[in-house]
Amino acid sequence: MSSTTQNKVCIVIGASHAGVNFAFALRREGWEGEIILYDNDKEFPYHRPPLSKAYLTSEEGTEQSLLFPKENYKTDNIVLKLGIAVNTINKEEKTITLANGSVQQYDKLVIATGARPFIPPIQGLDLAKNVFPMRTAEDAINIRKTINNSLTKRAVIIGGGYIGLETAASLKKLVANVVVLEREERVLARVTAPVMSDFFTQLHQNNGVKVLTSKNVISIENKDDHNVVVCDDGTKFHADLIVVGVGIKVNSELAQNAGIVIENGIKVDETAKTNDPDIYAIGDCTYHYNPHYKYYLRLESVQNAVDQAKAAAKAICEQEVVYDTIPWFWSDQFDVKLQIVGLSKGYNQIIIRQEEAENSFSAWYFKDDELLAVDAVNFAKAYVLGTKFIKSKQKLDKSKISDLSIPFKPNSFLA
């Protein structure tokens, strides 16, 4: 890139996966000016997926899981300003105002504000003891300390999504008495098919976690030394610890107040640019178009944060780019590794391939003849092959997928 950026400033609001990866990508793409990251979290930028897994069962903390080594920020001349909140954006003046009242000018601004836990309006929740979401390292540390210091170690998790189930699995390793309360008729109801919900329900029950569905929590009663979680059917659950994992709320207020278009998040184009030519948005907070699936979506995943960050860096450095990536996700629970590629929305057929090994299978989601997504449980080959087929949109012979007598190779399943 030309030296025209030498005296320019790029400000990034949010120093998690999206913001940090963007900053380093921008420098690699040739940006010569200042790069400044602001985040109101004082913790040095770290990987968040281990929060509901390794952090809960380990005393190591985030120092062993930094997004980038601390010295890399100095090497790449990236300025981290942690524990500092941004209050407003003035896109006409091209400035941001910090919580301390100071004003900072920018040439390009990147919003990577992510999301925060949604805390439902449950009566008594605000007065309950030892109630935590699962979003930050501080949350994970507080949860671990609470359960380790409890004699009875009774944990109630409100919400049976991936975060809730991962937290349940980790807490069970700490010899906790764990109950998961899910409002819907099945766990993971909003994100996967009934066959996967049934599998993970059984997995948790086999490992001593009580998973209860159609349980709508309406209030929390505070006892002398613990809480009592009350559901609308009259059932009650005693808890020394409550983890709330019912979803997230996008941090879009800063952008909205600045006049940025909001639609299920911060709406961006194929380069991650907002309706303002000098303001981009990346990560969990964005609502973007996926060319492969041909619809707008908002994704809460590390993959999206990192890949969208790279696309935005290229675009700001005036390179041709279109963000067109097949989404992928993963989840670790007990001895099970779930790998997901693609988006199953709109499927009308599922094919299950059950491997010979225990707890090893894959679910293939089709819309007519098009493969939309694959869920691979303890079977990485299905994830790899599924990725290849989804990207290429090759037509498959569905009858061959579930047939274990057919070798698991790319050409074996082609129509």
Q: Is 99 helix (H, G, I), strand (E, B) or coil?
A: coil
Give the residues across from 154 on adjacent strands.
177
Query: Does 2 score more than 70 pLDDT?
Result: no
Cα–Cα distance, 233 to 235 (Å, whole number)? 6
The domain segmentation of the chain, as residue ranges, is 3-116+249-316, 125-246, 335-413
**pLDDT digits over 244-268, tens only?**
999 999 999 999 999 999 999 999 9
CB atoms within 10 A of CB 222: 12
Pick the CATH number of 125-246 from 3.30.300.30, 3.90.1170.50, 3.50.50.60, 2.120.10.30: 3.50.50.60
Q: What percent of the chain has pLDDT over 70?
A: 98
pTM of structure? 0.94
Residue with tokens 């380093």, as numbered in its chain? 24
Statement: residue 56 has pLDDT above 80: no
* CATH, domain range 335-413: 3.30.390.30
Terminal Cα-to-Cα distance of the chain (whole angstroms): 46
- Given this chain, do its domains 3-116+249-316 and 125-246 carry the same CATH topology? yes
Compute the distance between CA of residue 227 and CA of residue 208 in angstroms, rounded to an integer.
21
Q: Which residue has the tokens 């086999």?
A: 206
Residue-wise pLDDT tens digits, 110-154 = 999 999 999 999 999 999 999 999 998 889 989 999 999 999 999
The phi, psi pair for 140, rounded to 5°, reads: -60, -40
Between CA 30 and CA 47 the distance in angstroms is 26
Q: Are 414 and 363 in contact (CB under 8 A)?
A: no
pLDDT digits (tens, 9 = 90+) for 96-115: 999 999 999 999 999 999 99
Q: Judge: domain 3-116+249-316, CATH 3.50.50.60.
A: yes
230 - beta bridge partners?
219, 236
54, 330, 329: which is closest to 170 by C-alpha?
54
CA atoms lying within 13 Å on the CB side of residue 242: 27
Count CB atoms within 10 A of the CB of residue 7.
Answer: 10
Per-residue model confidence (pLDDT) at position 243: 97
Please, which pLDDT band fits residue 410 given cuts at 50, 70 and 90? confident
Q: How many residues does the chain have?
A: 415
pLDDT for res 225: 84
**Beta-carbon count within 10 A of 53 CB:** 18
